[in-house]
Amino acid sequence: MLEKIFENAMWKARLFVLLPVIFGLIGAIILFVVASKDIFEVLVYTLNVYLNGLHPENFHEEIVSKIIGAVDLYLIAVVMLIFAFGIYELFISKIDAAEETQAGNNILAIHSLDQLKDKIAKVIVMVLIVSFFQKVLHTNYDGALQMLYFALSIGILSVGLYFLGKVGKH
């Protein structure tokens, strides 16, 4: 009898997982809103520059950097979504609405902890690559050695992405 009560309480304790699911979704929504606001600000700034005939220095670098920053936030929001959906599906229940509408082709469907880890890792690597690209835009190259380092870093990122694409495919 005591064993049954303990096991029942332990099984219901999994519902605490709803906290990271709910706050993960809230975090994703916040990031989507903030990134969208950033893109809208770039739009307003760009329209202001062109409509008023302004020619600010480094205009293209500024808008590209701000858009890349927003893409970075979008990718982090996707990590939060994948995390929230994955934790929910692993600990609480399958999401019926997702299975009905996607017919087995759902990027948010998670069937194991390893699959969740792999999906999150891939998106995090993309976030790091986008962040690297954003930093590279603001780097001044003073010599051939710095350009060589830049080329090597791009090569290493490319090789890493190639192997990341091979993960999970046989």
CA–CA separation, 52 and 9 (whole Å): 66
Instruction: Give the pLDDT of residue 165.
Output: 74
Identify which has the larger pLDDT, 133 or 10: 10
In contact, 89 and 95? CB cutoff 8 Å: yes
The three-state secondary structure class of 112 is coil
- What pTM does this model have? 0.76
Task: Quote the tokens at residue 127.
Answer: 């976030």
Task: Read off the pLDDT of residues 105-158 as tens digits, 9 standing for 90 and up.
Answer: 666 677 788 888 888 887 888 888 887 877 777 777 787 887 788 788 888 888
Instruction: Give the pLDDT of residue 99.
Output: 65
Task: Read off the pLDDT of residues 39-70 as tens digits, 9 standing for 90 and up.
Answer: 999 999 999 999 998 888 888 888 988 999 89
Cβ neighbours of residue 21 closer than 8 Å, sequence gap 6 or more: 84, 87, 88, 92
Instruction: Give the pLDDT of residue 49.
Output: 93
Q: Inform me whether the pLDDT recorded for 28 exceeds 70.
A: yes
Cβ neighbours of residue 161 closer than 8 Å, sequence gap 6 or more: 125, 129
Angstrom CA distances, 38 to 56, 63, 65, 105, 136, stand at 19, 10, 11, 31, 20
**How many residues comprise the chain?**
170
